[in-house]
Structure 1
Amino acid sequence: MTAVSARFARQCHLARLAAAAGISLSALAWPALAHAQVAEEETASDADTGGDIIVTGSRIGRKDADSVGPILTLTSEDISRSGSSSIGDLLQKLPSAGVSLNSNGTQGTSYGASSINLRYLGGAEGSGNRVLVLVDGHRWVDGVGQRGFRDFVDLNTMPQGMIDGIEVLKDGASAIYGADAIAGVVNIKTVQPFDGLRGSVRAGITSYGDGAETSAMLTGGKTWDRASLILSASYAKSNAIRTDARDLTRLTLVPQTSVGTNPNGLFILPGLAGNGYFGTAAGFGNSSNPIILNNGASIGAGNLADNAFHVGALPGDFYNTQAQGIYSAGPSERYGFYGRFDYELTDDVTIKLEGVYNRRKSSQLFSPVLLDIGGTAGTVRGFSIPNSHAFNPFGTANGVPGANALGFGANSAWRIRKVMGDVGNRNNSQDVETIRFSVGVDGTFQIGGGEWRWDVFGSYSKNSIHTMAENGINYDNLFLGLGSPAICAATAGCVPINLFGPMTEQQAAYIRYTTREYNRTELYNAAFNVTGNLFELPAGPVALAVGYEYRQNRGFDAPDAFVNSASQFLAAQYTTTTSQTRTATVGSYDLHEAYAELNVPLLRDQPFAESLELSLAGRYSDYSTVGNKATLKAGLGYRPINDILIRGTYSQGFRAPSILELYQGARQTSFQGNDPCNGGASANPNLPGCAGVPTGYNQANYNLNGLIPGVISGNNNLKPETADTFSAGVSITPSAVRGLSLTVDYYKIKIKDAIASQTPTQIMQLCAVRGGIFCDLVSRDSGTGEILELLQGAQNLNSIETDGVDATLRYEFGTGIGRFAAVVDASYLNSFKTTAPNPAGGDPIVDERAGRGDTPRATYPRWKGQASLRWTGETADATLRGRYIGPTTDAVNAVKDARTDSIIYTDVEIGFNINDGAARFSIGVNNLFDKAPPASYANAPINYDIYTYDARGRFLYASFSVKM
């Protein structure tokens, strides 16, 4: 048997082992937690063939997988029959998955990326930077984003055609794989050598007629005597869903209590009040009585100018920014190619060459810029509008006598707020390219009559992104267009700007700005591994794996130079455009690591001890940034009888701060959060941090629906974080009831010196409740109460501690009408507790999140689960799936109760085999009963947690696959 065909045989045997163990889920077409167990006859068969297997969580090749922790295994068939449109979508449905980045919403930070965040332990919202994502046991390059590079793997950078299966280890594995494996490991298995052609197409659309998806894959394989070749192409496209297309997302849950920014403008023009020439009453156009242009009105000349305006009031001047065609789910298009060539250099040595190219284009639509400018008022100050300006309706240019003409100087408290609909909706777009080249050589050698395996691996990979943020505002051009007519006339290209009425396209084009930026990440990786048996014990061989790995990570971020340049006309604290600023980032680190893993069989075939096995692992890591660290792992698997496996593991985790966390330049952002000082100091007399906030203040009246301007930055004083993970479980497979299995596992994870940031809501709550130094991170406008800036930075918090239970019940049986398989998979989150230092001294601040959903994009239900029932007949099959997300608390509010309800999503699929399984056609419906996410006040204005729930509604699809 050649080396290539031998490896292929081992892969096939692994699939048979997994099927016997209940960890292959093709019978269910739905991910279910399963634990590696091998039937006695399969183990005997493996002994005959001599083939070892490698399972995620261990580097040691073995005859079975008894000593490995709880593993979820998905085959290519599971993936194709899951009803999911992408790998990220599939993994995010796992009960153990926390908030993860996806395509939902324009209120988040995904920007077309997809992540997997196990155990809710991602370092930032949905980031997944404590989950290690591997491809065939090797690292994948970090992602990139709209506002700088990432420190986690973007699952949308992998062509789906390269993926043959997935293994998910929900156990700490830093000692085996190195840093980042605190919450678990996701190992993507690539397609293995084969002869033939495989293809599939899939298309679907919601019952609302939007959100259409199409995808296609074609993979060809050819094997020769000493070589094999695989070529694969993938394509996927998804269309947008608008916020105004669903009842839940059409209007923010936060009630509008005063007139907000709208396209007709909101004008505070103190000099206009009581002007006899215009006939305006006292208070007309002052800070408490802003005026609005009558919709569609033409501004009259002279003393008729004010007839086009009225004092703003609700409900007549209500305006809904959510209905501006912004996306609830953004469009995305991806295509990718994968190639692999294997060649036997000798009978014992094989070389493997791989190449990957993937490209993604995605976009997100936002409502137009909410302009807020003025002289000594407004968010951006220092503007002026002379009385001779052509579009100042109260000036001499419009026939007003000089004695009555009004100009609005940079030293007066005038203010204009306006939705810049004439400029257009803001559109963010991303163009992401991923390349990866790798070479691997593996072989065997003999020592003392035993066979040892070795492999050498090297790879280079890069993610790069070009982004655009269209339809921003150029403040410098706006300053010129509003200012002196003489200066504007003398400035090339300057166009006088009308902020008091509809703008012309020429005016809009002059102040419109498109931000263009670029960032990239790179990974250089090299590894060497050796595994084999040291010696024999009465219970079996003592197996050893040792290895060395070198890795270098690089990140580069080049923000738009003009956006980050100093304004020519405004004060230094103001930016040149409405785009968010950030400083350029360049960073890198490298590390050397060595590891050893030992598997020791202690007992076998003894009374009350069918088997007892000890596994030990240790790893030494030396970082160029934070020094060195050693991590250990120990596991014990005990089978008192063949039907019961009891196991437990203890592992030490380690995560060095990423390039992003260390070196990220300060960048502006918009936070989502609920200001506890809404209503002002008079409405919150028991909150000392609200002192001085004016009565009636409402954050919803500022920025975009109350989004909070802020700054995020890296911290090069960060220390590494460490973790201790303990898990214990039992797996029962009663031989008296074939096909039945029950697994229950308890886990407890404690992260010390955790790298994290407090949420914007937490920062505001601390300020409001405690006042004093807790408000140093929250800057307000003393006149309006508006939050001008909120500072958020990474820090080594005291600890994060979580524990819970996973359980799976599975039963598969045959009948005269076909085969049935059922599974129930549930996770219970007992606690998720963050302990942070108290800036004022005293006891640490403890935040228990389990069961809560009262902060944006951070829902922690205690119960999550999924279940499926599958029937397989001779030529047809059917699957019924259900997914449950339990209730959580909501932010306290006067609109709804402080609770986010539970939800059950129900899916159904029917498939038909053609030509003895050579082809398959299926139709299905996801979210059969068109369930909308439970409403969440904390997540206004989108009104639901976009990283936990799906708002697209009922989705119908059909697929066709063929094998030749």
Structure 2
Amino acid sequence: MHHPFVRTPISAVVAAVALGILSSPVIAQNQRGASEIEEVAVVGSRIKRSDEVVTSPVQTLSADDLRVSGSVSIGETLQELPSVGSSLNGNGSAGTSHGSSSLNLRNLGENRSLVLVDGHRWVNGAGTRGFRDFVDLNTIPQAIVERVEVLQDGATAVYGADAIAGVVNIHTYRDYDGADLKVYYGAAGEGDRETASLDYLWGTNYDGGNLMVAVSHTDQKPIFTQDRELTAVPLNGLSAGTIEGVFRESNLASVLDGYASAGVTRDPGSDGSVPASWRAVDAEADQFNRYYNNYVVGPLQRTSVFARNRTELTDNIEFSVEALYNRRESDQLFSSAPPVIRGSRGFVIANDPLVNPFGVEFSGSDFRVDNYFDDVGQRRNAQEVDTLRLAAGLEGELRNGWSWDAFVSWAQNEADFISYNQIDLDRLALGLRACDTSAIGGDIADIAAGCVPVNLFEPLTGEMVDYINFTGRDRNSAEQRDFTFNVTGDLFTLPAGEVAFAAGVEYREESGEDRPDSYVQADPRVNSYQTTTSAPRDGTMGEYNLGEVYAELSVPLLRGMSLVQDLTLDLATRYSDYSTFGDTTNSKVGLAYRPVDDLLLRGTWAQGFRAPSILEMFEGARSTFLPVNDPCNGGGEGLVGCAAVPDSYVQQGPNVPGEVGGNRNLQPETSENTSFGLVYTPSYLEGASLTLDWYGIAIDDTISTFGAQNLLELCATTGQRCDYVSRAANGEILNIVDGPINLNRTEVKGMDLVARYGMETALGGLDLTFNASRLLDLTQESTLPDGSILVEDKVGTAASRESFPEWRASLSAKLSADKWSASYTARYIGTTEESVADESYGIPAVIYHNVSGSYDVQDNLNLKVGINNLTDKQPPVSLTNLNINFDQNTYNPVGRFLYMQVNYSFDS
């Protein structure tokens, strides 16, 4: 279907520029002197400028800034910016990033932060149980990054949707000439988290062009829970049961003396076929740490190849083509397969000596085996994510000095998700029946073939393990096609200067597909629960396309007057037409006022828009486990939503069954962004600058999950939304349905301060930078079923995998001489408070200290050594972050980390 606006404004702009190219004579080679300042487009505007009069706050990170702490990924560095909130990283196992790295600007979520590379969109991530709706920074190799610009303001009018919280523009090397090899090795003070990296960057200028190639490989080893005191034992308690298993069945009372309703277990190492080996369960002694040997920080391998060729077709037209391949391998460790055997789920242990030494069948409704299949091994989920991106571009200049560019790209993230050491529950159920198929209807020939009787009363044999072991294989992908055309130049001259203009069109297609393992999805044929211990989910696919046209103006109002050195008005508007939601227009107004040379005052007002992502709309329903504290535990002490829960009910473990998925009834988000700030560069203090900005972002129809814990508490205390929570007659939670919905409103306000000072000392040049962000307000409103409004103020609070401290800050100092340099950085995360069972617990502030030093051994050989987290600071304890005991999306659990890096530059 063709959209009308695509046939008119877009075609008109393209035609006009094409006509200008064809009708203009070839421009003579640029004769500008070397001293002339190059015009560039700074993130937040498509207009090329030669001055610093920008209305929006932009923070630029140089190559030195990005590599000062010796990080091996762009995500690790950007996540430490004070303006970035809790973000997905490599920490933890359960429910985490599955190897991806995100950026959460302004604490508004990674899918409201737009990530660009050289001003162009990057494909969304993949590699978890379903595709992502944000850019995975682990798909962008750090070796090609020259600098990063962070726009801390809304930019929907300039770049389109998803730029509500801000924009990160990652610039790659453009005219690299030479060859550079970087070898890196580091390890934590505990001897783990070994990290090795190799980057090779090569480029050469040739007659009329430049060719660049970058190759990199990084290998990061894991840290295990038992190797850190903080994570060795989950603070929310161990799981009830033993590796040998806890058996419950009323028939056992007839064959075992001292049988208790709590069940019986076997003494370790004893003969399970002898009744004397079995004893009543001791609730205090018989506990199992299912999180032993999980990851505190997971392993990660990345390999990438990037190539770009730029060629001058004429004196004023350049053609470029580039390609990237990136492979990411990551995995997570979990406990061995958890308890699943219940009589109510169709499991039976036959009265057969091959599988049962007691001479009675176990099949009653009270039959239950609580065991972890330790003999099968720990479950391991592995991701293999391949990123492929191809792009080509043209750029040039017109006779009147205007410049234009066209860019087209195709990119895809494709992931294999492999689940090792799961259990085939149908095979297990048949094995427990001693392979007797007589009572089973339907075709189970594939399951019965090679059936091995499974005896749970003794350690499993290798044959038993091979028969019931299952490996699941899912595949998912995200794909993007994008075309942009931009033109910029000066329209006419006003008394205060040139009126600058930019306009352009963009057409983009986004799609995602999730193909879960068909066997996992199949209906069970022997048991009545599910086919395997892998969580089933519905496969899904979704796509949308959009066409956009935008225009920008930069109007100099006044210049060169007393108390008005410069007054500039910036205007931008963008029209977008979505195949899923129709059209929308969003605009932006900015004003920059320089009363004197030393001071710039600026302010912006902007509209924002974010359409629901493919993931939010089309994600297939999947089963999972959600960490919660059940308020109905023990009957709920009279809570209205716990009336049907018996007093005898005790929550058996912190993780309960849940279901998450997409919501096709979602509506788009809209936002209003406001910012005011100043830039002060005192002439009396050369090398000093100060920027201070206030921002406010209000989002309507916020798309968010209500949260499993919130659903439970809302149901318990008010009786509302209890239909999202399913319970058994004994009170046990059978399922919680938690998916994305449009909440009423989210509002965030804050302030940013960046102070820089550079000076010469007797030892060398000293550069100081202080960067701080203060969160003034973060309020989320949602309408409850009774029509009342629930208002949550998150400033200073902490919850599961997210923290909202009022203050975040960083300080860096670098001293440089001819052959050596030394650096110190400190990162501050302020205090927060978490609530557990209506009790509040304070989480203290944390400061990480990093030091490094480098020395030029030769002109082309540099050696760098450093220590991150010099004081070996561990994350603060958190009781809401169940099982791992700290907020893994906010704090660094590695501890002291030492590294060495060697850079060798080859003669060009």
TM-score band by shorter chain is over 0.9
**Secondary structure in 2 matching 1:563:** helix
Determine which of 775, 778, 782 is the counterpart of 1:836.
782
1:848-894: per-residue Cα shift (whole Å, max 9, x none)?
Answer: 111111x2102111111111122112321111111111111123259
Residue 605 (structure 2) pairs with residue 645 (structure 1): no
Determine which of 739, 762, 777 is the counterpart of 1:793.
739
Determine which of 54, 75, 78 is the counterpart of 2:62.
75
Deviation at 1:81, TM superposition (A): 2.3
Alignment correspondent of 2:426? 476
Alignment-mate amino acid for residue 465 of structure 2: A
Whether the aligned pair in 2 keeps the contact of 1:527 and 1:550 (CA below 8 Å) is yes
Alignment correspondent of 2:332? 364
| 1:672-683 alignment, distance < 5 Å | 672-678=627-633, 680-681=634-635
Deviation at 1:487, TM superposition (A): 2.8
Whether the aligned pair in 2 keeps the contact of 1:389 and 1:483 (CA below 8 Å) is no
Whether the aligned pair in 1 keeps the contact of 2:68 and 2:823 (CA below 8 Å) is no
Alignment correspondent of 2:681? 733
Rate the CA distance shift 1:522–1:255 in 2: closer, same or farther, 3 A.
closer
Whether the aligned pair in 2 keeps the contact of 1:470 and 1:514 (CA below 8 Å) is yes
1:557-600: per-residue Cα shift (whole Å, max 9, x none)?
Answer: 110000001111233xx221111111111111100000000000
Rate the CA distance shift 1:486–1:194 in 2: closer, same or farther, 3 A.
closer
| Cα distance in 1, alignment partners of residues 33 and 264 from structure 2 | 82
Alignment-mate amino acid for residue 942 of structure 1: I
Residue 727 (structure 2) pairs with residue 780 (structure 1): yes
| Cα distance in 2, alignment partners of residues 888 and 219 from structure 1 | 43
| 1:771-920 alignment, distance < 5 Å | 771=719, 773-783=720-730, 785-841=731-787, 843-853=788-798, 855-892=799-836, 898-916=841-859, 918-920=860-862
**Secondary structure in 1 matching 2:752:** strand
Determine which of 257, 264, 269 is the counterpart of 1:291.
264
Whether the aligned pair in 1 keeps the contact of 2:699 and 2:745 (CA below 8 Å) is yes
Whether the aligned pair in 2 keeps the contact of 1:272 and 1:285 (CA below 8 Å) is no
Residue 702 (structure 2) pairs with residue 754 (structure 1): yes
Determine which of 279, 282, 293 is the counterpart of 1:313.
282
Rate the CA distance shift 1:685–1:730 in 2: closer, same or farther, 3 A.
same
Deviation at 1:756, TM superposition (A): 1.1
Deviation at 1:677, TM superposition (A): 2.8
Whether the aligned pair in 2 keeps the contact of 1:54 and 1:62 (CA below 8 Å) is yes
Alignment correspondent of 2:577? 622
* CA RMSD in angstroms, aligned pairs only: 1.8
| Cα distance in 2, alignment partners of residues 484 and 582 from structure 1 | 30
| Cα distance in 1, alignment partners of residues 327 and 237 from structure 2 | 42
Residue 452 (structure 2) pairs with residue 495 (structure 1): yes
Residue 378 (structure 2) pairs with residue 425 (structure 1): yes
Whether the aligned pair in 2 keeps the contact of 1:437 and 1:461 (CA below 8 Å) is yes
Alignment correspondent of 2:240? 260
Structure 1 stretches lacking a partner, 5+ long: 1-44, 123-127, 396-405
Deviation at 1:106, TM superposition (A): 0.7
| Cα distance in 2, alignment partners of residues 367 and 540 from structure 1 | 68
Whether the aligned pair in 2 keeps the contact of 1:270 and 1:285 (CA below 8 Å) is no
Rate the CA distance shift 1:637–1:46 in 2: closer, same or farther, 3 A.
farther
Residue 194 (structure 2) pairs with residue 248 (structure 1): no
| Cα distance in 2, alignment partners of residues 484 and 960 from structure 1 | 62
Runs of 4+ in 1 over 3 A off after TM superposition: 45-48, 692-699
Report how many aligned residue pairs link the two structures. 868
**Secondary structure in 1 matching 2:518:** coil
Residue 390 (structure 2) pairs with residue 437 (structure 1): yes
Whether the aligned pair in 2 keeps the contact of 1:55 and 1:65 (CA below 8 Å) is no
Deviation at 1:139, TM superposition (A): 0.5
Deviation at 1:186, TM superposition (A): 0.8
Whether the aligned pair in 2 keeps the contact of 1:58 and 1:68 (CA below 8 Å) is no
1:474-511: per-residue Cα shift (whole Å, max 9, x none)?
Answer: 11101101115543999321111112221111111211
Structure 1 residues 809-818 or 530-539, which shifts more?
809-818
**Secondary structure in 1 matching 2:398:** strand
Deviation at 1:690, TM superposition (A): 2.7
Deviation at 1:251, TM superposition (A): 0.6
Alignment correspondent of 2:257? 280
Alignment correspondent of 1:38? none
Rate the CA distance shift 1:495–1:195 in 2: closer, same or farther, 3 A.
same
1:374-409: per-residue Cα shift (whole Å, max 9, x none)?
Answer: 213xxxx111122225221211xxxxxxxxxx2112
| Cα distance in 2, alignment partners of residues 223 and 564 from structure 1 | 55
Whether the aligned pair in 1 keeps the contact of 2:69 and 2:868 (CA below 8 Å) is no
Rate the CA distance shift 1:619–1:369 in 2: closer, same or farther, 3 A.
same
Determine which of 183, 187, 201 is the counterpart of 1:219.
201
| Cα distance in 2, alignment partners of residues 262 and 859 from structure 1 | 35
| Cα distance in 2, alignment partners of residues 138 and 600 from structure 1 | 26
1:774-798: per-residue Cα shift (whole Å, max 9, x none)?
Answer: 2111112221x32211101111111
| Cα distance in 1, alignment partners of residues 890 and 349 from structure 2 | 48
Deviation at 1:48, TM superposition (A): 5.6
| Cα distance in 1, alignment partners of residues 648 and 874 from structure 2 | 33
Alignment correspondent of 2:904? 962
TM-score with structure 2 setting the length: 0.93
1:508-559: per-residue Cα shift (whole Å, max 9, x none)?
Answer: 1211111101011111101111100000011110000000000001111110
Alignment correspondent of 2:21? none
Alignment correspondent of 2:660? 712
Whether the aligned pair in 1 keeps the contact of 2:69 and 2:850 (CA below 8 Å) is no
Alignment correspondent of 2:295? 327
**Secondary structure in 2 matching 1:547:** strand
Residue 331 (structure 2) pairs with residue 408 (structure 1): no
Deviation at 1:671, TM superposition (A): 1.8
Alignment correspondent of 2:182? 200
| Cα distance in 1, alignment partners of residues 775 and 631 from structure 2 | 28
| Cα distance in 2, alignment partners of residues 639 and 850 from structure 1 | 34
Whether the aligned pair in 1 keeps the contact of 2:414 and 2:477 (CA below 8 Å) is yes
Deviation at 1:167, TM superposition (A): 0.9
| Cα distance in 2, alignment partners of residues 668 and 467 from structure 1 | 16
| 1:58-69 alignment, distance < 5 Å | 58-69=45-56
| Cα distance in 1, alignment partners of residues 858 and 294 from structure 2 | 46
Whether the aligned pair in 2 keeps the contact of 1:893 and 1:937 (CA below 8 Å) is no
Structure 2 stretches lacking a partner, 5+ long: 1-31, 439-443
| Cα distance in 2, alignment partners of residues 159 and 826 from structure 1 | 28
Alignment correspondent of 1:31? none
1:199-223: per-residue Cα shift (whole Å, max 9, x none)?
Answer: 2111100010100001111111111
| 1:649-664 alignment, distance < 5 Å | 649-664=604-619
Whether the aligned pair in 1 keeps the contact of 2:542 and 2:618 (CA below 8 Å) is yes
Whether the aligned pair in 2 keeps the contact of 1:601 and 1:614 (CA below 8 Å) is yes
Alignment correspondent of 1:84? 71
Alignment-mate amino acid for residue 494 of structure 1: C
Deviation at 1:49, TM superposition (A): 1.9
| 1:443-454 alignment, distance < 5 Å | 443-446=396-399, 450-454=400-404
Whether the aligned pair in 2 keeps the contact of 1:834 and 1:848 (CA below 8 Å) is yes
Alignment-mate amino acid for residue 291 of structure 1: V
Whether the aligned pair in 1 keeps the contact of 2:74 and 2:141 (CA below 8 Å) is no
Whether the aligned pair in 1 keeps the contact of 2:765 and 2:817 (CA below 8 Å) is yes
| Cα distance in 1, alignment partners of residues 671 and 314 from structure 2 | 44
| 1:485-564 alignment, distance < 5 Å | 485-487=435-437, 491-564=448-521
Residue 608 (structure 2) pairs with residue 608 (structure 1): no
**Secondary structure in 1 matching 2:690:** strand
1:242-282: per-residue Cα shift (whole Å, max 9, x none)?
Answer: 011000011111135xx703211111111122x2xx3524x
Alignment correspondent of 2:406? 456
TM-score with structure 1 setting the length: 0.88
Deviation at 1:660, TM superposition (A): 1.0
Residue 575 (structure 2) pairs with residue 588 (structure 1): no
Alignment correspondent of 2:885? 943
